[in-house]
Structure 1
Amino acid sequence: MAIDRGASLPLMGGGSGARPPTIYDVAEVAGVSHQTVSRFLKGEGVRPRNREQVIHAIAELGYRPNFAARALATSRSQRIAVLTQEMGEIGPGRILQGATLEAREAGYLLDIMPLDVSDRSAIDEAIRQANAQAIAGILALVSTDEMIDAFDRTDFRVPAFIGAEEDDARGEHPAQRNARGMDLVVDHLADLGHRRFFHIAGPRRWVAARNRELAFEHALAKVGLVSAGVAYGDWSAASGYDVASEIPRNLGITAVVAANDQMALGAILALSRRGLAVPQDVSVTGFDDIPESAFITPPLTTVRLDFEEQGRDAFRRLASLIEDRPTSVAAMSAELVLRASTGPIR
């Protein structure tokens, strides 16, 4: 039976008689079949090239899936509860952004529930509320021991994926992006002649902070060195400033390796106020490559991580549980970005 695709009608944006674009319009612009568009919107397997063409066509046309119609047709909700924390931090914020983009492209809506990690009862109550909702699944983007423990003790009534970094100290699944990133940092500094390293670590209750500290120690051991000291910040520039202000001069430190860029920025200011030039007297490195790191004085050498892909991967893995289909785990990359905050030892 022929299907009237309404090709003679103007698409959305064409005036008062405009109509919203359909999957047939998306298929025509993408150069694929409407069945391919339908599979993509359901989160089913689509060849990479076709996937990219469909994504571009959806963006070009401003296509929005009819979630209500799909829920009626499949008898399944398209809503996902996302439990997350510390959204103001760079990593968690970008991970959430990636998950949001992937969910939108797959035809799901995210209900984001920020959690206060300092209040355990509030965490338990938020999990209870999420479990009681008419949702397709739960995505937990967690970073701290309190959150991980709360989710590990919960029996979810819908498919759930806990996007938590494995604790490398337990010898489970090393976060290769941290290990690779610290190897790149330490190798770079060692090649410049540095032998006395100080680490500004993140808060110990964060798994990522512990993993980066462990990766730092392992990276030093690979080049035959040991850490000359470590102190703990809270990811903020202020904490990096405070730590760097207290580094004893008699340690002979020539390289400060911070666990994130904000603490590195604070450290650079503190060192300069102590009369130490960066990088002439002390080299400083960060981790994460926040946008501001390229625009301070001096611009910061750091490790660039693809947080958005981490969020996308977490959502894809949840979607595979919801839709009972296999999925692959994305390889997370780490890239050293060389800037002017590092230089050869005097």
Structure 2
Amino acid sequence: MDADAVSGGRPSTEAVNGAEEAAAKPATIYDVARAAGVSHQTVSRFLKGYQGIRPQTREKVVKALAELKYQPNLTARSLKSGRPHRLAALTHEIDQVGPSRIVQGASVAARQAGYLLDIVTLDMSDADAIEEAVGLVAQLDVAGILALASNDAMTEAFEQTDFRVPSHLAVEEDDARTGHRTELSAVGFPSLIAYLAGLGHRSFLHVAGPPAWSSSRNRARAYERSLAERDLTSIGTVHGDWSAKSGYDAIMSLDDLQATAVIASNDQMALGVMLALKERGLRIPEDVSVTGVDDIPEAAYFSPPLTTLRVDFTAHGRTVVHELLSLIDQTPPKRRAPALQSELIIRASTAQAVRQGG
């Protein structure tokens, strides 16, 4: 009599254990390839960040990776390649939308390429912060370092640091120095100004970010350039620090608001702008239209919902990781999309100009 007959037709203990072991066994790229209906070479290229995979194929691989809960064997990879499969990201201002989303995109791209991304945040108020952070990163035994700089002080500090492993300085370059504008500057701001001009707005106020940030300078220049191209008037630029409070203070500091449209350099400052305008007895958008930049999740729920330029920071994060991996692998960098792609999102904070600005 066989074992199944003895157990009343139930699987044997050995069969159950074998099934459990098979279920617990981590998925391989061959398992992913079978589930996706593609070759294992295709899965391997995807995990290494190769961009030339057809969208339909890429979608199948992503779905199979998720369903099988695929996790790369970093230990085996490290032993095989002779190098660690960890990257480090040095960053600051992690509470700001741009830097935080760039880190998110970088983390996903690193994981898809088979790396773990260790995130080290720096305290810019501490003069020894960078030296301590570099020392910490050195202890992590990483294959490469992503230096995410937002302001001039961080950029200068990273440029003077010897990281001793492949490193990539990821910073929004000042377009006045390089001559290469980001997509946000070349397309985003002109489309925003064109939209407002189409509503009859002729006088504008810009609430800009801190002058020490290259992104703030780029946006301020894009604002001025876009107005000049349409022979529109700027009554001035007031600088904030990216916070809602600074946007509020910027509007409250003005003796008279002659503009019919206020363009804030980010959505948080736009929020403060809107509160200050209301406290000064102005209606949005009937008296003044307000716009922002970034399209934070809360922007759609401002009162009224905010018209803004949506910026794809996560895509930028993926790009800078691929550039770092090219340095590590000593391969030519892949063709990259224009930096900081943007999209105009129109909501209820903008409307036809009904009063004449000064």
TM-score (norm 2): 0.88
Pairing partner for 1:24 from 20, 26, 30:
30
Residue matched to 2:323: 317
**One-letter amino acid of the structure 2 residue matched with residue 277 of structure 1:** R
Cα distance between partner residues in 1 of 2:231 and 2:269: 26
Q: Could you tell me whether the CA contact under 8 Å between 1:124 and 1:150 is conserved in 2?
A: no
Distance change in 2, residues 1:107/1:17 (3 Å):
closer
**One-letter amino acid of the structure 2 residue matched with residue 291 of structure 1:** P
Show structure 1 runs of 5+ residues with no match: 1-8
Distance change in 2, residues 1:103/1:48 (3 Å):
farther
Cα distance between partner residues in 1 of 2:124 and 2:187: 29
- Structure 1 stretch displaced more, 17-26 or 220-229: 17-26
- Structure 1 stretch displaced more, 329-338 or 263-272: 329-338
**One-letter amino acid of the structure 1 residue matched with residue 260 of structure 2:** T
Distance change in 2, residues 1:188/1:322 (3 Å):
same
Q: Does 1:336 align with 2:349?
A: no
SS in 1 for 2:95: coil
**One-letter amino acid of the structure 1 residue matched with residue 251 of structure 2:** A
Q: Does 1:110 align with 2:89?
A: no
Cα distance between partner residues in 1 of 2:310 and 2:59: 24
SS in 2 for 1:304: strand
**One-letter amino acid of the structure 1 residue matched with residue 88 of structure 2:** A
User: Alpha-carbon deviation of 1:35?
Assistant: 3.0
Q: Could you tell me whether the CA contact under 8 Å between 1:131 and 1:158 is conserved in 2?
A: no
TM-score (norm 1): 0.91
Residue matched to 2:154: 147
Aligned length: 336
User: Alpha-carbon deviation of 1:216?
Assistant: 0.6
Cα distance between partner residues in 2 of 1:98 and 1:180: 22
Q: Does 1:287 align with 2:330?
A: no
SS in 1 for 2:294: coil
User: Alpha-carbon deviation of 1:42?
Assistant: 4.0
Residue matched to 1:122: 129
SS in 1 for 2:24: coil
Residue matched to 2:97: 90
**Which runs of structure 2 are paired with 1:298-313 in the superposition (5 Å)?**
298-313=304-319
Residue matched to 1:229: 236
CA deviation vs aligned residue, 1:233-290 (integer Å, no higher than 9, x gap): 11111111111122222x5211111000010011111101111001111110000001
**One-letter amino acid of the structure 1 residue matched with residue 87 of structure 2:** I
User: Alpha-carbon deviation of 1:46?
Assistant: 5.6
Give the fraction of aligned pairs with identical amino acids, expressed as a percent.
Answer: 52
**Which runs of structure 2 are paired with 1:1-346 in the superposition (5 Å)?**
18-43=24-49, 47-49=53-55, 50-131=57-138, 133-249=140-256, 251-326=257-332, 327-331=334-338, 332-346=340-354
SS in 2 for 1:272: helix
Show structure 2 runs of 5+ residues with no match: 1-14
User: Alpha-carbon deviation of 1:15?
Assistant: 8.2
Cα distance between partner residues in 2 of 1:132 and 1:178: 39
CA deviation vs aligned residue, 1:139-179 (integer Å, no higher than 9, x gap): 11111111100111123321111110011222432222233
Q: Could you tell me whether the CA contact under 8 Å between 1:120 and 1:146 is conserved in 2?
A: no
SS in 1 for 2:108: helix
Larger radius of gyration: 2
Distance change in 2, residues 1:304/1:118 (3 Å):
same
**One-letter amino acid of the structure 2 residue matched with residue 27 of structure 1:** A
